[in-house]
Amino acid sequence: MAASWAAVDSTSHPLIERNVVRAVVIDSADRVLLLQVGELGNPEFGTAWELPGGGIEAGETHAQAVIRELREETGIVVAAEQIATPSWKRDVLYDYRGARRLQHEAISLVRLAGPTPTIQSVLRDGFEQQDLFDARWWTQHEILDSSEWFYPRSLPSMLNRFLDGAVIEEALEVWDKDAWRAASSC
């Protein structure tokens, strides 16, 4: 998904481009795991509830990155067999910790068996310790009815399609101060 980010990039921040995994983690009660995030150094953005995930490290496969990110961010251990082929792809452009980031995200479904695991934060790295505030299991109905911010912003409108097996290719999503303010005033 080639996005023309230059047309929307009006910052002087250095650009970091990376490939990222995200996971729609579903527990045995059909609830979705979301992490409440924000950047303490950029409080005007507030907080949002996001899908777990992060950057793919050199030499990692998609499944290996999902396994590592879930373990680091939540303490949840999954096997590669629990991770579906990514069927939701998107690009996002945003500022984080003094850099402009262009992420190419591939989102997979991960279904957990057994009791809902307790979320643990002991393996989070320095920034994750600072920027991940909470974790919560949400029903689909709660996500649809919520006035909270979600990342991806389209999560409430895309979740049912994704869970029904649709292949989703989203346009570039831009998170910047002007877009944030405009959306917040609606």
pLDDT, tens digit, for every residue of 115-158? 898 888 765 565 555 577 789 999 999 999 999 999 899 999 99
What is the rounded CA–CA span in Å between residue 60 and residue 67?
Answer: 10
37-92 confidence digits (pLDDT tens): 877 666 666 788 999 999 999 999 999 999 999 999 899 999 999 999 999 999 99
> What pLDDT is stored for residue 122 in this prediction?
61
Per-residue pLDDT band at 9 (split at 50, 70, 90) = very low
Do the Cβ atoms of 95 and 42 come closer than 8 Å? yes
Q: What is the pLDDT of residue 183?
A: 52
Residue 4 — pLDDT band, cuts 50, 70, 90? very low
Q: Which among 20, 114, 102, 104 is positioned nearest to 68, based on CA atoms? A: 20
Judge whether 4 and 142 are in contact, CB under 8 Å: no
pTM score: 0.85
For 15, the 3-state DSSP assignment is strand
CB 88 within 8 A of CB 163: no
